[in-house]
Amino acid sequence: MASRNRPPVAGIRVPAPEMRAFVAGLFAQVDMPPDRCAEMADYLVRSDLRCVFSHGTSQAPGYARAMREGRINAAPDIRVVEDSPAATVVDGDGGLGYFACHEAMRISIRKALTTGTAAATTTNHHHFGAAGTWSRCALESDCIGLAVSSNRFVPNPQRSVLDAVTWGPLSIAVPAGEQPPFVFDGGGFDLPYSEERFLEAPGAFLKGLGVNVAVAILGGLLAGVYRRELMESRDGWESNQGAFVAVFDVSHFMPVDEFKAEMDRYISDVGKTTPLPGTDQAVLPGGLEYRWQQENQRGGIPVSDRHREVLEDAAKEFGVEAPFERFQRFG
């Protein structure tokens, strides 16, 4: 986990409703429809609540600038362009990928509850945020969720094969019972490369390459990001990203209560093992984010000085009121 995706040691705490209202106000200044403003604010605040700050509200100013400059469609018309009993293709109309991925997951969950499994690709859109935003959608329906994304990329023949793909995001979310759900939510598999490191552990680098290529194929090639009509688009939108999402309904494989009991047992057993260096407990991916979300929903989003500065600068730039002076510092 990146160091910035941890609770800051000092800053202010902002209640989630206050942060949502502020972020929605930013998007309103670039002519995003009101319902979309509220939707985007909610997605970004959810990431902040989990302390995934790299994909939270600090992203809002950049998104708003891109819309103001005509690089992202602020009011996309999200359309299903291919549909079958277990598969869907969703067109994002040059907007942020959040809206297309929300529709893709909504449809895939509905289908999976009938068929057992369902998948969708999304195409013709910009950034889709944290992959975990979409894999987690399946949890409320006692399903397993998968989400990956990739963008259009041409390998540089002067670089190593390890640089043949970008580090696209990957997330898988698995429900549990009393324990926090398992949620792996990360960027591509990236190890600092040197010839010496490779010779010491070639398997680690080759596995990383395999994971990154699989993400690029599912979230990029299969999503159609290299289709000529998108690459030659004249609308000016930077719609070079795609995504792949999949949903697996646990009840089609085994009783849900039995599966959740097994997940609880497994997670509990893991918690008895030796923690990694620099940590105080053995916890699986998603466990810390789950705990932080519970704490921050009660106490407010912890906003570092740098995070606050980014948002206050955006408030001045877009002419909206920043509420942050009202909140006491901690740390």
Region for residue 129 given its phi and psi (left: phi exceeds 0; alpha: psi -120 to 50; beta: otherwise): left
CATH number at residue 234: 3.30.1370.60
Residue at 176 is within a domain: yes
Q: What share of the chain is helix, strand, coil (3-state, %, to 5)?
A: 45, 15, 35
Select the more confidently predicted residue: 1 or 199: 199
| Same domain as 329, residue 201 | no
How far from each other are the two terminal CA atoms of the chain, in whole angstroms?
22
| Same domain as 63, residue 180 | no
| Same domain as 308, residue 167 | no
| Same domain as 230, residue 132 | yes
Residue at 279 is within a domain: no
Residue at 182 is within a domain: yes
CATH number at residue 313: 1.10.1530.10
| Same domain as 216, residue 172 | yes
Residue at 288 is within a domain: no
- Count how many domains the chain has: 2
| Same domain as 232, residue 178 | yes
Residue at 294 is within a domain: no
| Same domain as 329, residue 221 | no
| Same domain as 314, residue 215 | no
**Structural domain ending residue among the three candidates 269, 291, 312:** 269
| Same domain as 137, residue 61 | no
| Same domain as 255, residue 143 | yes
CA distances to 32, 59, 119, 148, 296 from 38, rounded to whole Å, are: 10, 15, 27, 24, 20
Q: What is the pLDDT of residues 50-82, one digit of tens each?
A: 999 999 999 999 999 999 999 999 999 999 999
Q: What is the pLDDT of residues 179-197, one digit of tens each?
A: 999 999 987 666 788 889 9
Instruction: Note down the domain range covering 135.
Output: 79-269
| Same domain as 160, residue 64 | no
**Distance in angstroms (rounded) separating the CA atoms of residues 188 and 278:** 23
Q: What is the pLDDT of residues 257-298, one digit of tens each?
A: 999 999 999 999 999 999 988 888 899 999 999 999 999 999
| Same domain as 50, residue 187 | no
Quick check: 103 and 226 in contact, CB under 8 A?
Answer: no
Contacts of 129 (CB under 8 A, 6+ apart): 43, 44, 47, 55, 59, 96, 97, 98, 101
CA dihedral 17, 78, 172, 288 (to 10 degrees): -10
Q: What is the pLDDT of residues 312-326, one digit of tens each?
A: 999 999 999 999 999
The pLDDT of residue 278 is 81
Residue at 280 is within a domain: no
